[in-house]
Amino acid sequence: MATWQEIGQDDFRAAVELYESGRYRSAVSRFYCAVFSVVTDELIRRNATVDFRDNRATPSHSQLPQLMETYFTHYSIERQMHLRNYVRSVYRDRIGADYSLLRVVKQIAKETYRATEKVFRYLGVENGTR
């Protein structure tokens, strides 16, 4: 059985492939899945009390910022703030990619890619691309 970290790493590799092939909308969506998975993994490692609704194995997307604030206290205040901002940014981009008819351009996907890399780096997760 895969861990959420392994799922996140796989999602990251898939997002990079999509990005490199010019499929920016799908890449942005997959980058968010990668972020969501590795943050979920870290919360589980921190024994977070999570409301797993509807028999889901992950928290709701809206719960992430509050859960991060509660359970990522081992990081400096500055790192916590940056981490939450990166997660919010990737989530915002994913919502735009998944629910908007606007074209997702390379620059947006590139910014999402970079923010995702930072989340992985902050959590100490190898992204599997280097």
Do 57 and 49 contact (CB within 8 A), yes or no? no
The rounded distance, in Å, linking the Cα atoms of 7 and 11 is 6
Domain-embedded: residue 129: no
Q: Residues with Cβ < 8 Å from 37, sequence gap 6 or more?
A: 4, 5, 7, 8, 11, 58
Asked whether the predicted pLDDT for residue 122 surpasses 90, the reply is yes
Least confident of 1-5, 49-53, 74-78: 49-53
Parent domain of 118: 4-51+60-123
First-residue to last-residue Cα distance in the chain: 25
CATH code of the domain containing 94:
1.20.120.330
| Mean pLDDT of the region 29-40 | 96
Domain count within the chain? 1
For the stretch 82-109, pLDDT in tens is: 999 999 999 999 999 999 888 899 999 9
CA dihedral of 61, 63, 64, 69, whole degrees rounded to 10: 170
